[in-house]
Structure 1
Amino acid sequence: MKWLIGAFTILATPAAAQTTPLFASDEPLKLTITGPLGDIARTAERSVEPRDASLTLGGTAETYPIKLAPRGITRRKREICTFPPLRVEFPQKPAATSLFAHQSRLKLVTHCRSSEDFQQHLLLEYSAYRIFNLITPTSLKARLLAVDYVDPQAKRTTSRWGMFLEDYDDAAHRLGLTRANVGDRVAANQLQARQAATVALFQYMIGNLDWSMRAGPAGEGCCHNSRLLAAKTPGLIPVPYDFDYSGLVDAPYAAVPEGFKVESVRERSYQGYCWLNNDVIAVAAEFRARRPAINALFGQIPGMTERTARNAVAYLNEFYAEIATDDSLRSKILKQCL
């Protein structure tokens, strides 16, 4: 399978470090995870206790002992997801020659529920990461997974799509940056303008309102569904994640956050700052240049149905109509700035 990575290569930073082996390819990875998965799913809402499990790399004899635990908040609730997102920990350091070299803890995004519709929602969330990769290298990588979940107690194997997310420290190292040491909130003028403008326009593009690049929940640090990286030059660099509440993904459980005057997550509302407007106009040209590659991406994601791909492209076409010219960008989007 050929993947569109050319735009990423063009934007790569010369000083950037090498990507960890796990995220050096966009080819889907086949895995088998064996453990007490039924127990983990049933108790996820009340317990995040790690359980002993194993991970086997498909097509090889490589098997790793792992600790497996549910994670997240909303998707740990049984009424939302019958199968929670997971955290995979390697108690023993993988060998330097392993695909999992340099990995200690990984976020595994799972299918939430067993129906085919939820498989499509996961693939759409994966596409959001890939879109942002095409727009800027200052983004998290995601590795698509074909996972066989084996529960020896239930004597059952379940096969579903999933994805690993790049660790923020690994992303910072790859980009020649460091994780910023900040509290629960930062001032808007502390943000690096170009990246902040890119994030704001991207979040509008995918119809996401469930984020902040300035603040996080009390006591949980900054920021909500994004993290701040730092360089030697001034300006904090926001890098977003967790796009399941976006209009592009349109998960059944996704609700409009409090304080927004829209009726559906499919309805866009711009959350960028007015002082970023000139930078947004500049980055919009890059968004327009990436449009063919982004549209083509949806026809190349394994498991994504033609209907899902067609609907996703149609949703993004609405965005591209709004940024078709600088004047339309100003009148349709930037007039809403904060």
Structure 2
Amino acid sequence: MVPCQNFSRHKELVLKEYLVYKLYQIISLYSYRVRLLRLKMVDKYYGNQTTSYAFVIEPVEILSRRLGGEVRDAKNTHPNACNSYNYNRMAIFQYMIGHIDWSIKALHNITLIEPEPYAPSIPVPFDFDFSGFVDAPYALPAEHLPIKSVKERHFNGYCKPEQQFADAFNYFLNLKDTINYTITTFYYLPQKQRNELIWYTNEFFDIIASDTKRKTRIITKCRTH
């Protein structure tokens, strides 16, 4: 990903999206690898030069080879046909970062990896610039959703047994310190930006640590179709 404009705000958007990929690597081995670049761009007509950040994403062919599986390109795969263990963590991660611009059935911002023939597919998310965590100025929620801003969280995952939800919540709570440390020590972003991201993720941890909040904001909001 390359910043579309040479403004500090747009450079920060690139850095924040790169950071999301690094956070998901904490959550799951089934994640895209990314590499941050310092990019010098030259205007071939006027000779002007500018330096910015960018990142490159692992090609899907290398991803599948590294994970020892095959890419499943079939659309209309029902989320309940995915590996529940990995699907639940992916869906809750998307909620953590305030991201609803994804779909298993449409293969929208999701790669499905089949670890072995006929095994349940494992979803690998990508393209997070429409998340509340990144908070791009052009990111708007779909009109049919009950939120006005991408900073507002809305759970886009399918319903699962409550014990599966509880296991996934506990998994994230156990990783809270690691996630916050990764954000705090991401020195490419200014301190103010890092503090805002910590506040945003801590809001998520506050929700999943409360039986009442996680039930009213996640479990009862899950999708059935």
TM range (shorter): over 0.9
Secondary structure (helix, strand or coil) at the match of 1:309 reads: helix
Residues in 1 aligned to 2:163 and 2:5: alpha-carbon distance in whole angstroms? 43
Distance 1:179 1:294, change over 3 A: same
CA distance in structure 2 between the aligned counterparts of 1:204 and 1:302, rounded to whole angstroms: 25
Equivalent AA in structure 1 for residue 132 of structure 2: G
TM-fit CA distance, 1:303 = 2.4
- Per the TM alignment, residue 311 of structure 1 is displaced from its structure 2 partner at its CA by 0.4
Give the corresponding residue for 2:81: 190
Q: Contact between 1:191 and 1:237, CA under 8 Å: does it hold in 2?
A: yes
Q: Which has the higher strand share?
A: 1
Any residues of structure 2 matched to 1:1-338 within 5 Å, and which? 109-182=1-74, 184-215=75-106, 223-232=107-116, 234-275=119-160, 277-326=162-211, 328-338=213-223
Farther off after superposition, 301-310 or 144-153: 144-153
Task: State the 1:114 CA deviation.
Answer: 1.3
- Distance change in 2, residues 1:200/1:313 (3 Å): same
Distance 2:194 2:114 in 1: 36
Deviations 1:88-142 (A, max 9, x none): xxxxxxxxxxxxxxxxxxxxx0112211111111111111111100111111111
Alignment partners' CA distance in 1, 2:92 and 2:161: 10
8 Å CA contact 2:41–2:49 kept in 1: the answer is: yes
Answer yes or no: is the 8 Å Cα contact 1:143–1:165 preserved in 2: yes
CA contact (8 A) 1:281 1:326 kept: no
Are 2:25 and 2:31, in contact at CA under 8 Å, matched by a contact in 1? Answer: yes
Q: 1:145 touches 1:162 (CA, 8 Å); kept in 2?
A: yes
Residue 237 of structure 1 and its aligned partner are, at CA, apart by 1.0
The CA distance in 2 between the partners of 1:280 and 1:256, in whole Å, is: 25
SS in 2 for 1:254: coil
Unaligned runs of 5+ in 2: none
Deviation per CA, 1:283-312: give whole Å up to 9, x if none.
222211111111111233242000110001
Deviations along 1:41-72, one digit per CA (max 9) or x if unpaired, are: xxxxxxxxxxxxxxxxxxxxxxxxxxxxxxxx
Q: Distance in 2 between matches of 1:197 and 1:140?
A: 18
User: Residues 288 and 146 of structure 1: is their aligned pair in 2 closer, same or farther, counting only changes over 3 Å?
Assistant: same
Cα distance in structure 2, aligned partners of 1:255 and 1:299: 27
Distance 2:12 2:161 in 1: 34
SS in 2 for 1:288: helix
TM-score (normalizing by structure 1): 0.63
Which fold has the larger relative contact order, with Cα–Cα distance below 8 Å and residues 6 or more apart in sequence? 2
Q: What is the RMSD of the two structures over their aligned residues, measured on CA atoms?
A: 1.6
The structure that is helix-richer by fraction is 2
**Partner Cα separation in structure 2 for residue 144 and residue 289 of structure 1:** 27
Q: Percent same amino acid at aligned positions?
A: 30
Structure-2 change in CA distance of 1:308 and 1:278 (3 Å) = same
Distance across 2 between alignment mates of 1:158 and 1:135:
35
